[in-house]
Amino acid sequence: MHEKHDLFDGIPRPLVDEWTQRLAGSSTARVERIVSHGHASRPGSWYDQAESEWVMVVQGHARLRFEDNTVLELKPGQHVTIPARVRHRVEWTTPDEETIWLAVFF
C-alpha cells in the first residue's frame, strides 16, 4: 500500500519507440510517465485528444508545436496545460539523452 517508486527506474533500454507507462489514475484522471529519446510526432500527425493534458518535462528538453503555429520549448521543470481538442504535436526531443515527461490527463 505504501510502496515507494522511482520515476527514473524501470525504463526499457534501448528505447526504440516512445514509451508510456500509466502510474496512477481513476475513471476521470490518469498520470503517465512518457519517455522519449529523440522521438517526435510523425510528419503531418497531430494529437487531438478528448481530454485536457497537463505535461511537464522532468529531464531532457522538448519542443511542442500547436496547430496555430505556437511553438513551446520545454526544459526540466517547465510545464503546460493543453486543453481538450487543441491540436498539437511533439516537434523534437533531445536526441542525446532521454526526455522524461510527467503527464496528467483529465
Q: Is residue 96 part of a domain?
A: yes
Total structural domains in the chain?
1
Q: Is residue 5 part of a domain?
A: no
Cα 51 → chain centroid: 14
In this prediction, residue 1 carries a pLDDT of 73
In this prediction, residue 4 carries a pLDDT of 94
For residue 33, what is the domain's CATH number? 2.60.120.10
pLDDT tens string, the chain, 106 residues long: the values are: 799 999 999 999 998 899 999 999 999 999 999 999 999 999 999 999 999 999 999 999 999 999 999 999 999 999 999 999 999 999 999 999 999 999 999 9
Q: Tell me the residue range of the domain where 46 lies.
A: 19-105
For the chain, the farthest-separated pair of C-alpha atoms sits apart, in whole angstroms, at 45
Q: Is residue 11 part of a domain?
A: no
Q: Is residue 6 part of a domain?
A: no
CA distance 36 to 93: 7
Q: Is residue 10 part of a domain?
A: no
